[in-house]
């Protein structure tokens, strides 16, 4: 395998491995809506099971639970967006190195590769 073929192979393998990582990352953040709803439900259950004197409005607890769920969703959504942004930067850096090395090779040493 010549130098240019090795660099192309390395770039392809890097991108393939990176795709596996992106798929795994996507799976981690695939249920943020359900996680936010679960957090809101748990907040509601905890609030309603707390002893009180009876002068508190359950509607206030419902509002707090909804707000808590929205905060959880926003945090997870922001984390997902930031991880994917960082992943794009990482992919560029992983791809840039073998491509740069490919173009740094002496072009007079290149050989044509035939399909036959």
Residue 59 lies in a domain: yes
Q: pLDDT averaged over the chain? A: 81
Residue 71 corresponds to which tokens in the numbers above? 């905060």
The number of folded domains in the chain is 1
Q: How far is Cα 32 from Cα 26, in angstroms, rounded to an integer?
A: 11
Give the model's confidence band at 17: pLDDT under 50 very low, under 70 low, under 90 confident, else very high. confident
Domain assignment of residue 112, yes or no = no
Residue 63 belongs to a domain: yes
Residue 115 is assigned to a structural domain of this protein? no
**Does residue 79 surpass a pLDDT of 80?**
yes
Q: Which domain holds residue 66?
A: 3-104
User: pLDDT band for position 65 (50/70/90)?
Assistant: very high
Q: Confidence class of residue 70 from pLDDT cuts 50, 70 and 90?
A: very high
Over 70: is that where the pLDDT of 83 sits?
Answer: yes
Q: What is the pTM of this model?
A: 0.66
Is 109 inside any structural domain?
Answer: no
59 against 8, higher pLDDT? 59
* Cα(114)–Cα(116) distance, integer angstroms: 5
Which token pair is 32?
């943020």
Closest CA to 58 of 42, 71, 69, 47: 47
């Amino acid at each position: 395998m010549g130098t240019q073929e090795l660099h192309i192979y390395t770039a392809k393998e890097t991108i393939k491995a990176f795709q596996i990582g992106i798929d795994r990352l996507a799976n981690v953040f695939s249920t943020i809506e359900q996680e936010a709803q679960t957090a809101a439900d748990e907040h509601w259950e905890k609030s309603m099971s707390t002893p009180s004197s009876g002068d508190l409005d359950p509607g206030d607890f419902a509002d707090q639970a909804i707000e808590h769920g929205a905060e959880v969703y926003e945090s997870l959504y922001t984390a997902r967006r930031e991880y994917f942004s960082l992943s794009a930067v990482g992919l560029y850096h992983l791809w840039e190195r073998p491509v740069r090395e490919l173009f740094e090779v002496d072009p007079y040493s290149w050989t044509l590769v035939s399909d036959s």
